[in-house]
Amino acid sequence: MKPLALTSTLILLLAACQNKTENQSNPSNQTAMEQTTEKTAIQKTLFAYRDALNASDVNQVLPLYTHDGVFMPSNAPSAIGQEQVKASYEFVFKTIQLNIEFFIDEIVVNGDYAFARTTSKGTTLIHANGQTVPEENRELFVLQKSNGTWKIARYMFNKMK
């Protein structure tokens, strides 16, 4: 009977140690899982933005920005807030038609803020002359989690060549 009691006690001790180890490692596993979930949600926002650009659809772009979002295009003034952002994209879409793909280089999440570095490559149709030219940029997005959704708080891009 004593060997059975000793074996049972050892099994219980091992189980208790195992549970303690799992509980100690769980916070880092949970944090890693949360980071992955947030990065996936940010990727979804970035690809929705790409789709809105390719569709030349201001109504798809605006919900992706925070109410005080800032769009900082190359060779143009910054657009601050929904009204200016809307006007800026209306001008862009009247001027050109993009056909691009985004490549995500980096996403870093810190609480309700994140930044993403991307590159894009494709073509631009210039409406004024009907010419299609190569398009290649690098972009920096600052994102903010608003009501559980990642939105663009600041966006800037420039030409790579």
CATH of the domain at 46: 3.10.450.50
Phi-psi region of 6 (alpha: psi -120 to 50; beta: other; left: phi over 0): alpha
Say yes or no to pLDDT of 25 above 80.
Answer: no
Alpha helices in the chain (DSSP H): 2-55, 58-61, 81-95
Categorize the per-residue pLDDT at 27 as very low, low, confident or very high, splitting at 50, 70 and 90.
Answer: low
12 CB-contact burial (10 Å; exposed 0-12 / middle 13-18 / buried 19+): exposed
Q: Which domain, by its residues, includes 55?
A: 40-159
Q: Let me know if residue 73 belongs to a domain.
A: yes
Domain count, the chain: 1
Q: What is the pLDDT of residue 97?
A: 98
- The tokens describing 88, both together, are 């800026």
pLDDT for the residue numbered 2: 54
| Mean predicted lDDT score pLDDT of the chain | 87
CA-to-CA distance for 30 and 69, rounded, in angstroms? 31
Kindly state whether residue 107 falls inside one of the protein's structural domains.
yes
**What is the per-residue pLDDT across 74-124, written as a single tens digit (0 to 9) for each?**
889 999 999 999 999 999 999 999 999 999 999 999 999 999 999 999 999
Q: Which two tokens stand for residue 85?
A: 């952002």
Percent of the chain with pLDDT over 70: 81
Please compute the mean of the pLDDT values over residues 135-140 and round it to a whole number: 97
In this predicted structure, what is the pLDDT of residue 20? 43
The answer to whether position 22 is within a domain reads no
CA–CA separation, 60 and 46 (whole Å):
12
Check if the beta carbon of residue 143 is closer than 8 Å to that of residue 112.
Answer: no
